[in-house]
Structure 1
Amino acid sequence: MSRVIRIGTRDSELALWQANAVKNALEKLGHETKLVPVKSQGDLVLDKPLYEFGITGIFTKTLDVAMITNQIDIAVHSMKDVPTALPQGIVEAAVLKRANTHDILVHKGTDFLNDDDGIIATGSLRRQAQWLHKYPNHEIVDLRGNVNTRLQKLEDSTWNGAVFAAAGLERINLTPEAYLDLKWMIPAPAQGAMLVVAKEDDEFCRKALAALNHESTAVCVHIEREFLRVLEGGCTAPIGALATVQDGTVHFKAALFSLDGQERIGVEKEIPVSQHKGFGRKCAEEVLSAGGDVLMRKIKEEVNNTKG
């Protein structure tokens, strides 16, 4: 019996691009599909930083509810937005081949990089902390909204620049000419990767999506997300992590920063791909034992004080 797979997605241009990529891939395999766009609370409330919501998954929760209440069959996410613990009954069904992992600075000229009075916009604690680690005298201002909204806010402002994920701009052909590749900035765990989730008991969708899974990407992002989960980061801590696979070896680089960027506890290791299970946990435990546990408590207190 044929079945139409209902694909849940946020309704931003980037989210729709990602959902259409999954739609096209499934249809090439002979499946019938239908897009079901949904607005998330993270898209609707733009006047406060993400960490002030006090929950992870602000962009994924609405789609989780739509799936549990049988309004959609699968959901497509930017994997870095997805909490490391999925709701009961929802499982990872496919990780698509990863795009560009880098952050980029969209700017109005780079002379300010040599000055003490630069103003950079970002809604990410990870980007904020790493920018301040490198440029401690610059000012960080909060920037929220979808990619198009953030680009417009930058254009209308007196800021020197704003930090974006390269993959998001590349996917919808919005990368401007004036940008810098921030190769020194460690990306968010799973940045550049797309995740498709399905209901645990939906064997039809899980089997259909299994054909889209990219094994090498899946290995890397699971190491990064395990590192994040053990550090208990979510949206509330400046944590960067990147795993890559080359010639059968996983190369891993990650760090935890203080909110002001002045403290950095990092790890850089490699391991054979065949031994990747539990590798993210081991790296996280190394960071925690090097003072990361104390720094995480300090970060949580500071974030809670900001929310209060």
Structure 2
Amino acid sequence: MPATSNRESILVPSHDASPSAGALGTSPLRLGTRGSALARWQAQWVAAQLQRLGTDVQLVIISTQGDVNSQPLDQIGGQGVFTKEIQRALLDGRIDLAVHSLKDLPTQPVPGLMLAAIPERESNHDVLVCRRAADLEALPPGSRVGTGSNRRRAQLLFHRHDLIVSGIRGNVETRLRKLAEGQFDALVLAEAGLRRLGLQEHITWVVPRSWMLPAVGQGALGVEIRDGDRRAQQALAPLNHSDTNAAVQAERNMLRALGAGCLAPVGAWARIEHDSLRLDGVVLSLDGTCRLAVSVTGPLSEPVELGVLAARRLTSQGAADLIQFSRNPSDLS
């Protein structure tokens, strides 16, 4: 599907006399983003950080396949449905930067592109949104829980096989409306998205990570540029958060080494503990009846190796079979 875009300047250019502004050039950097409220928030946040550092930014709104097609994600191509058109615009030179939610960005590198910055991560928790119960344990049997994620679905069913877990598409506001209309008894959403949109009052319960491991890269943003674009790379360098970068690298390399994609029932959580990097990973069957888990620790300087180690240990437990089966999931709608 061809990408469609319209250029939109949303920030007033900075008039501060910053020494770096002249060195980096005077024309605005064109930042590509999806048009949803959450994607705009993320792009505007990155643009504001760059402006504060003396770099003017112009937003370019790009419609992706995931935005215009309301079918379940696994039926419209799965991986990259929210990113391919934006990456194409970056390669074509129509934009200079692309802001992604890292949980949506495929782990397979795109020739000619590079991740130039990963800012400090927001919460990577999942949350329950519900008016009938205080937490997931208190939901009555047969309650209908909405999620568009195989990872959330599998972990919900692992703990509560008596729930009806149904697919849901649409932006955050659309999902909340469907809950209010009674189409669902509860939703499971990302805490970071609700907080970024100022909708945290809808959070009923923050799901413990011991109950539900987050998606790879959940809560983190990634800013992608053309490989070799020194101006963009220099402008973005101050936005990179080294601890978040290491954690996300470990998670993404675990997912890549598993041969899984963004839609697989795979969870991961990497973090710094006692000057080391710890990574917890999980792979489940779609129906939640089988759960494989691993926890590994390694040097902070070796996130890629730690991710590969976690994947090898999960594979030795039979993760490959679960992932292969997930490529032909049952209809969640």
TM-score (norm 2): 0.87
Tell whether 2:262 aligns with 1:265.
no
Q: Distance in 2 between matches of 1:29 and 1:194?
A: 18
Q: Distance in 1 between matches of 2:161 and 2:86?
A: 38
Q: SS in structure 2 opposite 1:85?
A: coil
Q: Distance in 2 between matches of 1:279 and 1:219?
A: 10
Q: 1:274 to 1:86 in 2, by over 3 A?
A: closer
Q: SS in structure 2 opposite 1:162?
A: strand
Whether contact under 8 Å (2:38, 2:196) holds in the other structure is yes
Per the alignment, residue 33 of structure 2 pairs with 9
Per the alignment, residue 42 of structure 2 pairs with 18
The range that moved more, 82-91 or 113-122, is 113-122
Q: SS in structure 2 opposite 1:274?
A: coil
How far apart are 1:236 and its partner, in Å?
A: 3.4
What RMSD, in angstroms, separates the aligned Cα atoms of the two structures?
A: 1.7
Q: Distance in 2 between matches of 1:169 and 1:277?
A: 30
Q: Distance in 2 between matches of 1:197 and 1:258?
A: 32
Q: Which amino acid aligns with 1:197?
A: E
Tell whether 2:114 aligns with 1:91.
yes
- Where does structure 1 lack aligned partners over 5 or more consecutive residues? none
Per the alignment, residue 278 of structure 2 pairs with 251
- Where does structure 2 lack aligned partners over 5 or more consecutive residues? 1-24
Per the alignment, residue 215 of structure 2 pairs with 188
Q: Match for 1:101 among 121, 124, 127?
A: 124
How far apart are 1:157 and its partner, in Å?
A: 2.5
How far apart are 1:177 and its partner, in Å?
A: 4.3
The range that moved more, 145-154 or 215-224, is 145-154
1:230-277 alpha-carbon deviations (Å, 9 max, x no partner): 112213310000001133121211100000011011101222323434
Q: SS in structure 2 opposite 1:207?
A: helix
Q: SS in structure 2 opposite 1:284?
A: helix
How far apart are 1:114 and its partner, in Å?
A: 5.0
Q: Distance in 2 between matches of 1:218 and 1:63?
A: 22
TM-score (norm 1): 0.94
1:1-308 paired onto structure 2 within 5 Å: 1-46=25-70, 48-110=71-133, 113-183=138-208, 184-300=211-327, 302-303=328-329
Q: Which amino acid aligns with 2:196?
A: R
Whether contact under 8 Å (1:109, 1:178) holds in the other structure is no
Q: Distance in 1 between matches of 2:99 and 2:304?
A: 25
Q: Distance in 2 between matches of 1:236 and 1:161?
A: 21
Q: 1:275 to 1:94 in 2, by over 3 A?
A: closer
Q: 1:222 to 1:9 in 2, by over 3 A?
A: same
Identity %: 37
